[in-house]
Amino acid sequence: MSKSILITGASTGIGRALAFEFSRRGYALGLCSRRLELLELMRDELSRETKVVIAKLDVVEFKRVQEVLSRMAEELGGVEIVIANAGVAERSHPGEGTFYLDRNVIEINLLGAIATIDAGTDILKKEGGGQIVAISSVAGFRGLSSTPAYSASKAALSTYMEGIRNKLKEHKIVVTVLNPGFIDTPINTHRKSRPFVISAEKGARLMADMIEKKIWSSAVPVWPWSFITKIMRLVPERLWSKINV
């Protein structure tokens, strides 16, 4: 079986960049997204030597996730890596009528990711092993005042991945969690400040390297975010509340 990978949320941002990076590395691609028309354009842009299977999928349609991913894996002739990447970020504050935004963030970023991981695990068990990857965020290390639901969703996703690691090891499935800092994608272009921002292409290259090395977890890029996240965790809550604006 040739190298192959499934990526959710593949039409824009990190998912799109990862698709092009893994194409350059010789992987067959199973790409899904809510916006099929963007995937169709991507398929035309990707190398003709890359086998590409696409499908329309909203990961909050939980009952369809297993069906769509399984069908794509079958069309690829098998799969080695499943990346739960689909995600959104919304600015929200309690008491301001934005609960519907928070619910959408949690459903996509957490429940949609878990549905993807569940379906991906089922596929990889049948393959005899492989790798499950979750794209989390450094925002999950502390609650951010502008996007609290996003921080909560990513913290919960990272904790979930940590919780399933030992069990999946029994099935020869590696569990990888990647925590990007600011990657230049549409999900964060609205922010006034994006410290240490890197291009989507560079971010995808770093993440692909980490995935191929089968690391358990890492900030992306490692420097300076590994250091920054350690400091974030050590800042006392009273001080964090003053600087977290």
The catalytic site residues sit at 150
The two tokens of residue 154 are 């990513």
Residue with the two structure tokens 């824009």: 12
CB atoms within 10 A of CB 229: 18
In the chain, the amino acid numbered 190 is: H
Q: For the chain, what is the largest distance between any 2 Cα atoms, rounded to a whole number of angstroms?
A: 55
Q: Which amino acid is at 32?
A: C
Per the document, the length of the chain is 245
Q: How many angstroms separate the Cα of 176 from the Cα of each of 80, 132, 162, 166, 210? A: 13, 6, 9, 12, 9
